[in-house]
Amino acid sequence: MKELMADYYTRGAEAKEKGIPVAWVTAVFPVEIIYAAGLFPFYPENFGAVASARKLADKLSSAAEAKGYAHDLCAYSRCGLGDAHSREHPVGEIVKPDLLLCCNTQCGSLSKWFEVAGRFYEAPYFLLDAPQIGIEPDELSKQYYTAQLQELIAFLESFNGKKFDYDRLREVMAYANEACRLWNEILETAALKPAPFGFFDACFHMAPIVTWRGTPQAVNYYRNLQQELENRIKNKVFAIENERFKLYFDHIPLWPKLRWFSDICASHHALVAVSQYTHSWAYSFDLERPLESLAENYTEAFVNRVFDYRIQRKIKLMQRYDVDGFMLFSNRSCKPNAFGLYDKKNIISKITGLPGVVFEADMSDLRFFSEAHVLARLEPFFEQLESA
């Protein structure tokens, strides 16, 4: 996996050398269009996650903070902006964009970061705007998004100086369908009792579904992983020892403390089996009507939905994986996922009868992490779980 990601960064640098334009892109953006347009997609969020996992987010952030960006902004963006304003590049320099493409379903932090980066690197920026959707999808939002996909394609045609290739788009979408299908089958193995695979494994293996969906490499990667999981099941190799409990987790992991956190869960024989986060990439495209289908899949994702839909979605996942409890991470860096969690916890517990816990920390920045606080929240939760 590490080699594959290293290869991805090398390819980014190579793309630059070969004159293939590098497009900065966000995780829930229809990357299928970028691949079809022959551009190299680069994910600055992935840069932020890598910096965070290596415990370098604080260091990069300080360069951004010196320019007036407050430490309460999304830490991924502080990593990216810090790298831009810094002479030192402890994670390796971020691949500079030739153009920036952002969809704001995930959050507004990304769209502001990309806007700022567009000015900094003097590269054109395109915002794919997605109004929030209620319990039921609405035609108005879908039409708006589809119209913008057409504007995006016109923007790319003008950037590339050539016509957009819809046949190539269908080909890319077919690869994306296959990768998503495999990825979701892999995630389903976490429902087995005991399971060979859990959320922390998924965090480790998710980069290809985020960055390469739409390529044969992603399909091959997940075919191999699926094979490996079948072997694990045959040989009775499981994700944790003596699995007793299954848990649901919201949302992005605590990257710099991933191991610490997973060890705590394992010590209680609790497998974090499922999260809306890793289930985000579950697209199923209709190749006969590519743009509408992209619009439906991308705007109807949970990140673009209201409070009550998100509760329903979480409960459905909890039921499907038959979990014994749930943990909700109030992530300072991620307002849209954190705001509402306090009430959601109470509502979900009331509906399902499951024990739940909310804890405060940051996905990247250890200045907002207190081991004592997290433990003080988790310990009573595990006690409750064990006494149930």
Partner 1 sequence: MEYKEIIEIFKGAAANPGGQAGQWKKEHEGKIFGFLLTDVPEELVHAAGFLPYAVNAEEGMLDFADAHLQTWACSFSRNSLAAAVQGKLSFLDGLIIPQTCDTTRMLMGIWKHVRPLSFMENYRLPRQVDRPSAGDYLHGELKRLKERLEDFRGREIKEDELTESISLYNRNRRLLRRLYMVQVKTPQLLSSKDLFTIIKASMVMPREKVNFLLEQLLAACEAVTGSDHKVERRRLLISGTLLEPLELLDFINEKGGLIVADDLQNGSRYLEADAAENGDPLEALVQRQLKRMPSALYEPQKQRRAKYLVNLAREKGAQGVLFLHLKFCEPENYDYYDNMQAMEKAGIPAMRVETAFGGIPPGQLQTRVHAFMEMLGGEDVD
Q: Which residues bind partner 1 (CB under 8 A)?
A: 67-70, 72-74, 77, 104, 107-109, 111-113, 115-116, 119, 125, 127, 129, 131-132, 140-141, 143-144, 147-148, 151, 306-308, 310, 330, 332, 335-336, 338-340, 342-343, 347, 360
CB of 349 to partner 1, least distance (A): 14
Return the sign of the alpha-carbon dihedral for residues 89, 93, 94, 97: positive
Nearest residue (CB) to partner 1, 228 versus 360: 360
CB-wise, 102 or 266, nearer to partner 1?
102
- CB of residue 221 to partner 1, shortest distance in Å: 32
Paired strand residues for 102: 127
- The distance of closest approach from Cβ of residue 28 to partner 1 in the complex, given in angstroms and rounded to an integer, is 14
Question: Are the C-beta atoms of residues 183 and 224 closer than 8 Å to each other?
Answer: no
State yes or no: cis peptide before 97, omega within 30 of 0.
no
Cβ closer to partner 1: 119 or 193?
119
Are the CB atoms for 98 and 123 separated by under 8 Å? yes
Q: Of 35 and 114, which has the nearer Cβ to partner 1?
A: 114
Q: Provide Rg for the chain, Cα atoms.
A: 21
Q: How far is the CB of 150 from partner 1 (least distance, A)?
A: 8
Nearer CB in complex with partner 1: 185/308: 308
Which lies closer to partner 1 via its Cβ, residue 108 or residue 216?
108
Residue 76: partners with Cβ closer than 8 Å, 6 or more residues away? 44, 45, 47, 48, 49, 52, 109, 113, 333, 363, 364
CB of 344 to partner 1, least distance (A): 9
Cβ at position 194, least distance to partner 1 in Å: 36
Give the shortest CB-205-to-partner 1 separation in angstroms: 28
Tokens matching residue 6: 């290293």
Amino acid of residue 315 = I
Q: Which is nearer to partner 1, 52 or 77 (CB)?
A: 77
Q: Closest CB to partner 1 among 15 and 103?
A: 103
Strand partners, 373: none
Q: Which residues contact 89 (CB under 8 A, 6 or more apart)?
A: 83
DSSP code per residue over 175-234: HHHHHHHHHHHHHHGGGSSS-S--HHHHHHH-HHHHHSTTSHHHHHHHHHHHHHHHHHHH
CB 144, min distance to partner 1, A: 4
Residues 265, 270, 276, 277: what is their CA dihedral angle, to the nearest 10 degrees?
A: 30
